[in-house]
Amino acid sequence: MKPVVGVVLSNKMQKSVVVAVDRLFHHKLFNRYVKRTSKFMAHDEQNQCNIGDRVRLDPSRPLSKRKHWTVAEILKKARIYTPPTAESIAQSNSNAAASSTPST
């Protein structure tokens, strides 16, 4: 098997991730390209993957009942959303109020 590229869907397990791999194939009857998604379980030794990361998977020997892939590298890290805290909102409001007062 050849290496595949996909997006991490879940990292709730220890040293394991679920990766969605998309593929396109040509449908002869409809004469269109159809997208299919496969979900693979992969081994992540250092627990470095987060949800949304783009990763490359290499095939390996069977590590468990459903796990036959290993994470070779993280191609692109996902941007993780951090909600604003009350302190940062108060600080931004005080900065905005200070800059809006006219200085003569």
pLDDT tens for 61-85 read: 999 999 999 999 999 998 877 777 7
Q: Is 68 left (phi over 0), alpha (psi -120 to 50) or beta?
A: alpha
Q: DSSP letter string over 32-45?
A: EEEEEEEEEEEE-T
Residue bearing the bigger pLDDT, 96 or 57: 57
Residue 104: pLDDT band with limits 50, 70, 90: low
Cβ neighbours, 10 Å, residue 86:
7
Residues 10 and 52: their CA atoms lie apart, in Å, by: 9
Evaluate if pTM is beyond 0.85. Answer: no
- Report whether pLDDT(101) > 70: no
Say how far apart CA 104 and CA 38 lie, in whole Å.
65
Q: pLDDT tens across 26-62, in order? A: 999 999 999 999 999 999 999 999 999 999 999 999 9
